Amino acid sequence: MKNSIVVCTDLDGTLLDHDSYSFNAAKPTLEFIRNNQIPLIFTTSKTAIEVEELCKNTNFFHPFIAENGGLLSIPENYFSDQETTNKYIKHVIGKSRKEINHALHNLSLSYSFKSFNDMSNEELVKHTGLKPYQALYANQRDSTEPLLWLDDPTKLKAFAAQLEEHGLRLISGGRFHHVMGAHDKATTMTILLKEFKNYNNTEITSIALGDSPNDIKMLQTSDYGIVIPNPHAPKMCIDNHANLRVAEHPGPQGWNDSLLTLLKELIE
């Protein structure tokens, strides 16, 4: 193998089942990745505390990208010759949650929406399908704010334009819209891949997997992109990517089959 492989994957609807959040169908490929010592980078709109929980459940302790690129967390000593620990060091990128919600408060006078910050934990459980403690984790944010759009869909464009005046962006995910600073999964993935390149002193072959519009730039930026079908999100259109693939099945089953096929091609 000439290059080191790094896999960056979205979570909900991709590695995790859209409804049950299970990754059982992906276990064969997860084991292959572990056996071949391939870094698996969780890249998601979830919060750091949510992803750390998944790291424990899967026993994968690699850097991860949370809050749609707003947060980069790296295990202590990961890019050093010292022993790596399971303690994560946060690197915040973009606008703070406080700055975002200040802008949203002003815009709430003109538009109808409800952000995570304005929801009770019971409402979060209802809208996300998470357990109560998981909903609490989902609301421990550093640099993004998810919201439910309750207004006329035709007003979204004007809403996004006004957010830009505050230095903010609006990205559509599988369930929610996400308000954030001038960052996305791709920008933070690029920062992390440079760290891998510098530390390993070799070129990196990147693979990205995702299922919704907020994954498009990540897929475009990667050497190999795998689209996971998602019946709950708009169909993604990605042009001019020589190594783009579309999985046959949604969720972890499609993740497992398509990624394992690609990894075996690259390694063998």
Is 81 known to be catalytic?
Answer: no
Beta strand spans in 43-143 (E) = 64-66, 71-75, 88-92, 113-115
Please pick, among 10, 12, 17, 211, the residue that the annotation labels catalytic: 10
User: Taking a C-beta distance cutoff of 8 angstroms, is the pair 251, 16 a contact?
Assistant: yes
Sequence letter at residue 244: L
Buried b (16+ CB within 10 A) or exposed e, 30-63: bebbeeeebbbbbbbbbbbbbbbebbeebebbbb
State whether residue 29 is helix, strand or coil.
helix
Give phi and psi for 239, each to the nearest 5. -105, 160
Give catalytic residues, as residue numbers. 10
